């Protein structure tokens, strides 16, 4: 028997949701409300164990797949049907905040709890998923868990990766899997009926419009590159400029050239150099090696491809004396979400009396990869000043609860 979605929304416990956020924020807490909980670290492992402890308290079965994605199941009336999935990620940026990713996981858990409280039966099971390594700060690419799950990336390629300290992903993953013993093993790419991910907006629009809910229409594309520039080291006080092969000067010239390539008066192209490693990194030695990253984004696939494809030549021209190696570490094409899922989010928000607008996502999310497998959508909630990937990231308890109400009600409809 169907129950009104208002009853499900009313069962969302805003205090429990907030308290769980604050509990998770302790795993990797940094001064000033920041969080450092990168994939497979001790802090990530603590979050994994905490999530499964909460799942167990509520009697939900848990499982993990071979890349460490965690699944928590609220059974449906017909367990043989493909489940509806919800979730996000628990890893953070190296200097991230308390809400990016973890909100989607905790909102999903709270949605399962609210359905229990409201005694709402669903035909399909609903599964909460915590995707592995969405951020990609320790091991690239980001969205690794959902990419491996969906078949966009091979597990074997990931296992061979090393972090900045030389730790093999295979070993870090084995430790994470060993930390949650006794749960079922899950295959990749099992059939899914629909996927809905809640996330903070990470931008300023909902707050500016004084709206509670973003019905996300799609995600812009991203390309990541790792660019290694090589020259010759030598004495800063003696080597004539004319014969230098200065890798740092070369890299700076490349960044300048790429700034010119990506200049966009409309501010749609997004170009970021977020990592810059210099060797030997001494004031009086000429640099012989620089590694920097490029994060390039655009909502139009053809523009994204054209700009990204121009990067090698622009870099070579900018510093012809240096040697250059460019590796593309991630290519996420723009995606559009399923119109029926977007409409379901909007309908539920309206029926619950919550202000809602359609909007695209500037950030990438695991939903981008699951979109290839099943009807997919996302729910955004506002965050203060639009700040994210920063310790200053903040979303208030009421906003988090509002998004969770929409999530719980929409999951109920999708699974019924
Ligand atoms: C996700 O973390 C992104 O960088 O968009
Ligand atoms: Mn995120
Ligand atoms: Mn993020």
Mean pLDDT by 10 residues, the chain (416 residues): 95 98 98 96 98 98 98 98 98 98 99 98 98 98 98 98 98 98 97 99 98 98 98 98 98 98 98 98 98 98 98 98 98 98 98 98 98 98 98 98 99 98
Domains 5-220+334-415 and 221-332 share a fold: no
According to DSSP, the β-strands at 70-74 and 61-64 are: antiparallel
| CA pair distance 295, 273, nearest whole angstrom | 6
| Eight-state DSSP code of residue 382 | -
Query: Which atom of ligand 1 is least distant from the CA of 297?
Result: 5
The full 3-state SS of 9-63, as one line of letters, equals: HHCCCHHHHHHHHHHHHCCCECHHHCECCCCCCHHHHHHHHHHHHHHHHCCCEEE
**Predicted pLDDT at 117:** 98
CA of 89 to the centre of ligand 2 (A): 7
Which of 77, 101, 95 is closest to 35 using CA atoms?
Answer: 95
Query: Does residue 135's CB lie within 6 angstroms of at least one atom of ligand 1?
Result: yes
Query: Which atom of ligand 1 is least distant from the CA of 134?
Result: 2
CA of 78 to the centre of ligand 2 (A): 32
Nearest CA to ligand 1 atom 2: 135
CA of 90 to the centre of ligand 2 (A): 8
Query: Does residue 363's CB lie within 6 angstroms of at least one atom of ligand 1?
Result: yes
Query: Does residue 248's CB lie within 6 angstroms of at least one atom of ligand 1?
Result: no
Phi, psi of 298 (to 5 degrees): -160, 145
Ligand found nearest the CA of 388? 3
**Predicted pLDDT at 322:** 98
CA of 222 to the centre of ligand 1 (A): 9
Tell which one of 365, 390, 393 to mutate to probe ligand 1, the residue whose CB is within 8 A of the most ligand atoms: 365
Structure tokens at 257: 């050239």
Query: Furthest-apart CA pair in the chain: how many Å?
Result: 84
Q: List residues bridging with 291 in a β-sheet.
A: 228, 277
CATH 3.40.190.10 fits 221-332, yes or no: no
Ligand found nearest the CA of 380? 2
**Predicted pLDDT at 1:** 78
Ligand found nearest the CA of 364? 1
Residue 174 half-sphere exposure toward CB, CA atoms < 13 A: 7
Candidates 3.40.50.1980, 3.40.630.30, 3.10.580.10, 3.40.630.10; CATH matching 5-220+334-415: 3.40.630.10
CA of 62 to the centre of ligand 3 (A): 25
- Give residue 119's Cα distance to chain centre: 32
Query: Does residue 364's CB lie within 6 angstroms of at least one atom of ligand 1?
Result: yes
Query: Does residue 367's CB lie within 6 angstroms of at least one atom of ligand 1?
Result: no
Tell which one of 364, 369, 388 to mutate to probe ligand 1, the residue whose CB is within 8 A of the most ligand atoms: 364
Contact 114, 223 (CB under 8 A): no
| Eight-state DSSP code of residue 288 | -
Helices (DSSP H) in 210-361: which residue ranges? Answer: 247-261, 301-318, 339-351
CA of 410 to the centre of ligand 3 (A): 24
Domain ranges of the chain: 5-220+334-415, 221-332
């Amino acid at each position: 028997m169907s129950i009104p979605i208002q009853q499900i929304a009313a069962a969302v416990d805003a205090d429990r949701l907030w308290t769980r956020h604050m509990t998770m924020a302790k795993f990797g807490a940094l001064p000033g409300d920041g969080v450092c909980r990168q994939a497979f670290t001790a802090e990530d492992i603590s979050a994994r164990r905490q999530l499964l402890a909460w799942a167990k308290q509520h009697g939900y079965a848990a499982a993990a797949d071979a890349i460490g994605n965690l699944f928590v199941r609220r059974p449906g009336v017909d367990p043989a049907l493909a489940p509806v999935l919800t979730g996000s990620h628990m890893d953070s940026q190296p200097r991230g905040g308390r809400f990016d990713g973890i909100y989607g996981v905790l909102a999903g858990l709270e949605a399962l709890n609210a359905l229990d409280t409201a005694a709402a039966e669903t035909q399909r099971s609903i599964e909460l998923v915590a995707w592995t390594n969405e951020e990609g700060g320790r091991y690239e690419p980001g969205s690794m868990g959902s990419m491996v799950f969906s078949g966009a990336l091979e597990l074997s390629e990931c296992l061979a990766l090393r972090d900045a300290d030389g730790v093999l992903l295979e070993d870090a993953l084995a430790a994470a899997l060993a930390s949650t013993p006794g749960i079922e093993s899950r295959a990749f790419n099992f059939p899914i009926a629909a996927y809905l991910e809640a996330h903070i907006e990470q931008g300023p629009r909902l707050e500016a419009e004084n709206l509670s809910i973003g019905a996300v229409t799609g995600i812009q594309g991203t390309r990541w590159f790792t660019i290694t520039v090589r020259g010759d080291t030598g004495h800063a006080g003696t080597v004539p400029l004319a014969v230098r092969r200065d890798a740092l000067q070369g890299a700076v010239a490349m960044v300048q050239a790429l700034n010119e390539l990506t200049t966009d008066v409309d501010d749609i192209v997004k170009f970021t150099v977020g990592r810059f490693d210099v060797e030997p990194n001494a004031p009086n030695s000429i640099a012989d090696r620089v590694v920097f990253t490029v994060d390039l984004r655009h909502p139009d696939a053809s523009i994204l491809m054209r700009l990204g494809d121009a990067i090698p030549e622009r870099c070579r021209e900018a510093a012809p004396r240096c040697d250059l190696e460019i590796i593309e570490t991630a290519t996420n094409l723009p995606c559009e979400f399923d119109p029926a899922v977007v409409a379901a989010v909007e309908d539920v928000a309206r029926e619950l009396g919550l202000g809602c607008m359609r909007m695209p996502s500037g950030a990438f999310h695991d939903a981008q990869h699951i979109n290839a497998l099943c009807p997919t959508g996302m729910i955004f909630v506002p965050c203060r000043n639009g700040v994210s990937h920063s310790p200053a990231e903040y979303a208030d308890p009421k906003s988090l609860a509002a998004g969770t109400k929409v999530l719980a009600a929409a999951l109920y409809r999708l699974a019924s």
